[in-house]
Amino acid sequence: MSKTQMSVERLTESLSRYVLAIYELSAENKVARSKDIAGVVGVSRPSVTGALQKLDKAGLIEYEPYGYVTLTRQGEAQARQLLLKHRATQDFLELALGLPASRAQAVAGQIEQSLPADVLCRLVQFNNFYRNNPEKRFDWNPACRNLCQILYGVEGPRKCHDEDGMITGQNPTLLDVF
């Protein structure tokens, strides 16, 4: 694989974290250092070295051992695309599905790794439409709030039971919810 062929869709989740850490550190300090990258990613320095070698080989960073690390133009483009994927996914989970920010961030991190570019485009368009048209927003069916509890035995985003654990209101069927 040549240095210019690695796409963001082929970048592993682990290497994506390094690219974003370098992007974040570079925005603050103009350059990133190995020890700072280790701190942001939460790994040891030897782990950083291995990742930097892979990113250098892929043409995403400029790197000399024991020196500063900077993103190449391709690396910056990949970092911006990774941020867009994360923000679009998190926005969708918060806006459209009503997840709390912390839960949306965690789930977005899992989803974004497998999000193809064409789906990302549609997700961004949907988020923009949804944000700009509050009158067309989906009003969650109260029966749906219990669905997680009924189907999977886990509590959904809102408590739908009394203090004794009894589900309150109607017991919806799938036909009632969908």
pLDDT for residue 43: 95
> Do 122 and 163 lie in a common domain?
no
Nearest to 70 by CA among 40, 42, 30: 30
166 has a pLDDT exceeding 50: no
Give kind and range of the element (H or E) at residue 57.
Answer: helix 45-57
Residue 61, SS3?
strand
Range of the domain at 31: 13-77
- pLDDT at res. 79: 94
DSSP strands (E only) in the chain: 32-33, 61-63, 68-71
Residue 27 in this model has a pLDDT that exceeds 80: yes
- How many Å apart are CA 52 and CA 15, to the nearest integer? 9
Domain count, the chain: 3
CB 143, CB 150: distance < 8 Å: no
Q: What is the pLDDT of residue 130?
A: 87
Are 17 and 70 in the same domain?
A: yes
Mean pLDDT of the chain: 79
Per-residue pLDDT band for 19 (boundaries 50, 70, 90) equals very high
Q: Report which residue type is found at 100.
A: P
Q: Say if CB 116 and CB 124 are below 8 A apart.
A: no
- Residue 2 included in any domain: no
Tokens coding 31: 């350059």
Beta bridge partners of 32: 69
Least confident of 63-72, 139-148, 160-169: 160-169
So what's the pLDDT on residue 24?
93
Q: pLDDT > 70: what percent of the chain?
A: 72
pLDDT one-digit tens code per residue, 29-82: 988 999 999 999 999 999 999 999 999 999 999 998 888 999 999 999 999 999
Q: How many residues does the chain have?
A: 178
Instruction: Indicate whether 146 and 126 sit together in one domain.
Output: no
Q: Cα separations (Å) of 91 from 63, 98, 136? A: 34, 10, 17
Looking at the fold, whether 158 and 103 belong to one and the same domain comes out as: no
- What does pTM read for this prediction? 0.68
Asked whether residue 115 is assigned to any structural domain, the reply reads yes
- Rounded to an integer, the average pLDDT of 147-174 is 50
Each residue's pLDDT tens digit, 101-133: 888 888 888 888 788 889 999 999 999 998 898
**Residue 50 sits in the same domain as residue 30:** yes
